[in-house]
Structure 1
Amino acid sequence: MTAEGSDAGRTMKMADLARMAGVSSSTVSRALADHPAIPEATRTSIRDLAAKHGYVVNRAARNLRQSQTRTIAVAVPLGHEREQLISDPFFLRLFGYLADEISQRRYDILLVREPSPDAHWLGRLVRSQRADGFIIVGQSNQHKALNLAAGVYRPLVVFGSELPGQAYCSVGSDNFEGGRLATDHLLRSGRKRLLFVGPAELPQIDLRLEGYIKAHGDRGLPVDPGLILPAHFTGTSAYDQVRHATSSGLAFDGVFAASDGIALSAIRALEASGLRCPEDVSVVGFDDSDLASQSRPALTTVRQNVPGIAAALVDHLFRRLEGQQTVSSVLPVNLVVRESAPPP
């Protein structure tokens, strides 16, 4: 077992960590594996010491003594939406394709939902040794935690956008172009005042908003900040925001929603306000979940290439397990035009 030793700038061995903790190497090994035979206070102390010095398990050395777990963990950090369920339609579709890709390589899949992450949750998960590699679904507000783990642990790939100062490898959709396509479609169809509805402070969603702004600028149109409505992915947030917009007299004739779920909530709010979609207000979503084609009206949306995303995530991860370097990938998106926002 090895890690990057931040103190001496050299590879730290388990014996080094044991010496600093004042225990045997076997105690360190069992503590990091969360063995119940080691007192909780000792386990906590050793885990904290390991985290301080960037100590993580060396898979090659461990595999000389015991078999691999042959398991890939798929973790969902929910720092921004603690009530969000992994039964979300987009999540379920992505998980299905990930499971197919992973099982084809004769590995099992471990699903981890982290509803209250802190800066070290991923490091703890890595040290639990429950998996040989990790796919993180969504950056949420966990950019710092992802960077911390990636600094000392290689078999880690994240579904999300490439961010400034990013230390981890990511695979994601072209969210900026998706936002531009959706907004340009609404503007070309004659809509003039467009709501943007979604959590624009989050990675990926912020790029969708940038695309919305760019499409306006390309046509020489200003963006009214009053038309940008914050909304969560869960609960009645999007519905309530759109209902408030209509009841307050805010003028708009189009909606670009940050997800299909938000778009469908917006349509329900419009109907409750006596407005028709698309006759009065056109609506475009993002994802092309299964619900998009089944809704009434059928939802115009930006399609993410979910099978391609899953394949790229798994390919990048297994290449990193083999010691290869991988760079972040951005996959193209396309607009699927249906009834909620017909063509010009």
Structure 2
Amino acid sequence: MEDVARAANVSKPTVSRVLANSPLVNSETRERVLEAARAQGYAVNRNAQKLRQERANTVAVVLDFGSHRHGAIGDPFIFELLAGVSEALSVREIDLLLSPTGLDSVEGFVDLYRARGADGFIVLGQGTREQMLRDVARAGVPIVVWGAVHAASDYCAIGTDNFLGGELAGERFLKLGRTRWLFVGDTAHEELLLRYQGLAAVAKSNSAVQLDQLPVESFAFASVQAAAERYNCKAGLPDAVFAFSDTAAMAVIGAFARRGHQTPRDYSLVGYNDIPPAAHFTPALTTIQQPTGIAGAMMVEKLMQLLDGRRPKSAMLPTHLVERET
């Protein structure tokens, strides 16, 4: 920095301000300093810079790898959320650390936070880790979670109204006169449990409706497809299917089609998320929409509030059924 200051004919503190992108330096001086820095081959050591600051200027984004076979996430919805978070962080010039290892326990979160590896955490999907995430928040670690939103929780959560999503699916099935309903998904997951409960609440309102459940080993397309191919019920194949995701809905459509059971001819189907391919799939999927466009920005904003010492509230995003061909 002394060499750069001498070459640019400025003070060392001015060089420091320029490299820190301070607004206190005018544009002419800034360009002169940057030109001198480039000529000297100077580059900022960002890790060393972070050690001098109060924050790491990094947010860790944690994916729910455990819900996918062999840890391979293939659901486009997760990447839609991730893109929103990434964009919101980049606007604030904050680095994104993607699913670092060791974050499968409370200690992993605490250790990374105390080592200043990350200022806070955004978790995309609760999965079956509800209790662990509560314990992470109780340990004083800044955390915002995408998933089921509860009236009282130890952490800030952003998500849609999963119970309402289930109700909307059920109301559509009743409207279409369907009576043999099937829910596809593992209710050990908080979000999926609420979706099932919403569907079940509508089913109970009509004595003619029979509701069955098809658990799946993981969120992976192949797992859902295999489970749908094995599915067998005394009442026969369903005339209505509510799948936990659009990807799962596509897997069910393929599996049932091989058995001669076609949607929408033989059964109605509702997916969840409204991923971009849902509208272009054949047939186009009826689904519950989750607004990923604002979800990422909202999660980042809530985390920034936490880092500033405030206590942001959880938020429920608008939940709509998008009617298409299924």
Q: Same fold (TM over 0.5)?
A: yes
Q: Cα offset for 1:210?
A: 0.5
Aligned partner of 1:98 among 85, 93, 96: 85
The one-letter amino acid paired with 1:228 is Q
- Counterparts of 1:94 and 1:132 in 2: how far apart (Å)? 20
Aligned partner of 1:75 among 62, 67, 70: 62
Higher helix fraction (1 or 2): 2
Q: Cα offset for 1:327?
A: 1.4
The one-letter amino acid paired with 2:238 is F
1:133 maps to 2:116: no
Q: Cα offset for 1:285?
A: 0.3
Q: Using a 3 Å threshold, how does the CA distance of structure 1 residues 206 and 220 change in structure 2: closer, same or farther?
A: same
- Counterparts of 1:115 and 1:300 in 2: how far apart (Å)? 38
- Counterparts of 1:152 and 1:63 in 2: how far apart (Å)? 23
Structure 1: 4+ residue segments shifted above 6 A: none
1:261 maps to 2:259: no
1:89 maps to 2:76: yes
Q: Using a 3 Å threshold, how does the CA distance of structure 1 residues 170 and 191 change in structure 2: closer, same or farther?
A: same
Alignment of 1:1-344 (within 5 A): 65-66=52-53, 68-81=55-68, 83-112=70-99, 117-163=104-150, 166-221=153-208, 223-224=210-211, 227-231=212-216, 232-245=218-231, 250-340=236-326
Does the aligned pair in 1 maintain the 2:221–2:251 contact within 8 Å? no
- Counterparts of 2:158 and 2:189 in 1: how far apart (Å)? 16
Greater Cα shift, 191-200 or 203-212: 191-200
**Corresponding residue for residue 40 of structure 2:** none
**Corresponding residue for residue 28 of structure 2:** none
Does the aligned pair in 2 maintain the 1:78–1:115 contact within 8 Å? no
Q: Using a 3 Å threshold, how does the CA distance of structure 1 residues 246 and 79 change in structure 2: closer, same or farther?
A: closer
Q: Secondary structure at the match of 2:126?
A: coil
Q: Secondary structure at the match of 1:256?
A: strand
Q: Cα offset for 1:152?
A: 2.8
Q: Cα offset for 1:126?
A: 2.1
| C-alpha RMSD of matched pairs (Å) | 2.4
Does the aligned pair in 2 maintain the 1:159–1:172 contact within 8 Å? yes
Q: Cα offset for 1:150?
A: 0.9
The one-letter amino acid paired with 2:56 is T
Does the aligned pair in 2 maintain the 1:192–1:253 contact within 8 Å? yes
- Counterparts of 2:108 and 2:129 in 1: how far apart (Å)? 10
Greater Cα shift, 244-253 or 195-204: 244-253
Q: State the structure with more CA Rg.
A: 2
Q: Cα offset for 1:188?
A: 0.6
Does the aligned pair in 2 maintain the 1:79–1:116 contact within 8 Å? no
Does the aligned pair in 2 maintain the 1:175–1:204 contact within 8 Å? yes
The one-letter amino acid paired with 2:118 is A
Q: Using a 3 Å threshold, how does the CA distance of structure 1 residues 113 and 281 change in structure 2: closer, same or farther?
A: farther
Does the aligned pair in 2 maintain the 1:157–1:168 contact within 8 Å? yes
Q: Cα offset for 1:221?
A: 4.7
Unaligned stretches of 5+ in structure 1? 1-61
User: Deviation per CA, 1:94-143, whole angstroms, max 9, x where unpaired?
Assistant: 11111111111121211116598234332233234222121111111222
Does the aligned pair in 1 maintain the 2:60–2:120 contact within 8 Å? yes
Unaligned stretches of 5+ in structure 2? 1-48
Q: Secondary structure at the match of 2:136?
A: helix
Aligned pairs, number: 277
